[in-house]
Structure 1
Amino acid sequence: MIKYMKAFASLIFALVAIGIILQQLHLSNTSLRLKHYAGPLGLRLGGDGTQNNSEDLQPQDDYFPQFRFGSGKMQPYMVIAIPSVLRKGDSYLNKTLRYMIEPLTIVQKQNTLFVVYLADNQATIFERQAKQLYEEFREEFEMKMIHLIGPPRELRPDWENKLVPNFNDKIERIRWRSKQNLDMAFLMSYVVRYIDPTLFLMMEDDVQAETNYMSEILKFAEEKPTNQWEYCTFTKVGGAGKLFHYKSTREFADFVAMFWDAKPLDWLYWDFIRNKRCGYSESQEICKQKSNKLQRVYEGDLFKHLGKVSSRSSFGISR
Structure 2
Amino acid sequence: MRSSYGKLFFVAGFVCVLMLTSWHTSKSDNLPFQLHSVYERLLRAEQQGEVLSKELLKVLGQLQNRSIAPSNHTISNSSAILEERVLRRLLPSQPNAYIYLPHLKEHEDSLTPIVHLGQRRTGVSLVLGVPTVHRQKQSYLVNTLQSLLFDLSTAERKDIVIVVFIAETNAIFVNAVVQSVQTNLPDAVSAGVIEVISPSPHYYPDLSNLKETFGDPKERVRWRTKQNLDYSFLMLYAQSKGTYYVQLEDDIIAKQGFFESMKKDIAYVLSEEWLFLEFSQLGFIGKLFRTSDLPMIVEFFLMFHKDKPIDWLLDHILWVKVCNPEKDSKHCHNEKARLKRTYKPSLFQHVGLHSSLLGKIQNLKDKDFGKQVLFKSHNNPPAELRSSLEKYLSHTLERAYNGVDFFWGLTPKIGDYILITFTGPQAVKGYLFRSGNIETNGDRFYNTTVEVLPTSKSVKVRVTRGELACCKPSSDGFVQIENHLGVIIHKIFIKVLF
Distance 1:140 1:270, change over 3 A: same
Equivalent residue for 2:346, pick from 288, 291, 301 = 301
1:94 correspondence with 2:139: no
Equivalent residue for 2:196, pick from 137, 148, 152 = 148
Q: Secondary structure at the match of 2:288?
A: strand
Whichever residue aligns with residue 254 of structure 2, its letter is: A
RMSD after superposition: 2.0
| Deviation of the 1:306 alpha carbon | 1.7
Equivalent residue for 2:296, pick from 251, 272, 295 = 251
Rounded to whole Å, the distance in 2 between the matches of 1:138 and 1:114 is 14
| Deviation of the 1:318 alpha carbon | 5.9
The 8 Å contact of residues 117 and 189 in structure 2, kept in 1 or not, is answered as no
The 8 Å contact of residues 207 and 222 in structure 2, kept in 1 or not, is answered as no
Within 5 Å, give how 1:132-211 maps onto structure 2.
Answer: 132-161=180-209, 163-192=210-239, 195-211=240-256
1:272 correspondence with 2:317: yes
The 8 Å contact of residues 244 and 291 in structure 2, kept in 1 or not, is answered as yes
Q: Secondary structure at the match of 1:244?
A: strand
| Superimposed CA distance per residue, residues 191-249 of structure 1 (whole angstroms, 9 cap, x where no aligned partner) | 12xx4310000000000111111111111122112651100111111211010012222
Rounded to whole Å, the distance in 2 between the matches of 1:117 and 1:160 is 23
Whichever residue aligns with residue 304 of structure 1, its letter is: Q
Name 1:121's counterpart in structure 2. Answer: 169
Matched-pair identity in %: 29
The 8 Å contact of residues 119 and 191 in structure 2, kept in 1 or not, is answered as no
| Superimposed CA distance per residue, residues 157-208 of structure 1 (whole angstroms, 9 cap, x where no aligned partner) | 32432x211111111111111110011111101212xx43100000000001
Whichever residue aligns with residue 98 of structure 1, its letter is: Q
Whichever residue aligns with residue 152 of structure 1, its letter is: S
Distance 1:157 1:310, change over 3 A: closer
Structure number with larger C-alpha Rg: 2
Rounded to whole Å, the distance in 1 between the matches of 2:361 and 2:140 is 18
| Deviation of the 1:90 alpha carbon | 0.8
Whichever residue aligns with residue 267 of structure 2, its letter is: E
| Deviation of the 1:263 alpha carbon | 0.8
Answer 1 or 2: which has greater helix percent.
1
Whichever residue aligns with residue 155 of structure 2, its letter is: V
Q: Secondary structure at the match of 1:94?
A: helix
The 8 Å contact of residues 163 and 194 in structure 2, kept in 1 or not, is answered as yes
Whichever residue aligns with residue 336 of structure 2, its letter is: S
Distance 1:226 1:264, change over 3 A: farther
1:287 correspondence with 2:335: no
The 8 Å contact of residues 301 and 313 in structure 2, kept in 1 or not, is answered as yes
Structure 1 range deviating more: 216-225 or 64-73: 64-73
Answer 1 or 2: which has greater strand percent.
2
Rounded to whole Å, the distance in 1 between the matches of 2:117 and 2:190 is 12
Name 2:52's counterpart in structure 1. Answer: none
| Superimposed CA distance per residue, residues 100-121 of structure 1 (whole angstroms, 9 cap, x where no aligned partner) | 0011111111010000001121
Q: Secondary structure at the match of 2:228?
A: helix
| Deviation of the 1:62 alpha carbon | 1.4
Rounded to whole Å, the distance in 1 between the matches of 2:264 and 2:151 is 16
The 8 Å contact of residues 231 and 248 in structure 1, kept in 2 or not, is answered as no
Q: Which has the higher contact order (CA 8 A, sep 6+)?
A: 2
Whichever residue aligns with residue 112 of structure 1, its letter is: I
Whichever residue aligns with residue 205 of structure 1, its letter is: D
Name 1:221's counterpart in structure 2. Answer: 266
Rounded to whole Å, the distance in 1 between the matches of 2:249 and 2:361 is 19
Rounded to whole Å, the distance in 2 between the matches of 1:301 and 1:191 is 23
Name 1:28's counterpart in structure 2. Answer: none
Rounded to whole Å, the distance in 2 between the matches of 1:205 and 1:283 is 38
* Structure 1 spans left out of the alignment, 5+ residues: 1-21, 26-58
Q: Secondary structure at the match of 2:208?
A: helix
* Structure 2 spans left out of the alignment, 5+ residues: 1-65, 70-106, 363-498
Rounded to whole Å, the distance in 1 between the matches of 2:306 and 2:325 is 23
TM-score by length of 1: 0.76
Rounded to whole Å, the distance in 2 between the matches of 1:258 and 1:200 is 21
The 8 Å contact of residues 125 and 159 in structure 2, kept in 1 or not, is answered as yes
The 8 Å contact of residues 72 and 145 in structure 1, kept in 2 or not, is answered as no
1:85 correspondence with 2:133: yes
| Superimposed CA distance per residue, residues 16-66 of structure 1 (whole angstroms, 9 cap, x where no aligned partner) | xxxxxx9xx9xxxxxxxxxxxxxxxxxxxxxxxxxxxxxxxxx95312224
Rounded to whole Å, the distance in 2 between the matches of 1:66 and 1:100 is 23
Rounded to whole Å, the distance in 1 between the matches of 2:133 and 2:160 is 23
TM-score by length of 2: 0.50
| Deviation of the 1:86 alpha carbon | 1.5
Name 2:279's counterpart in structure 1. Answer: 234
Name 2:112's counterpart in structure 1. Answer: 64
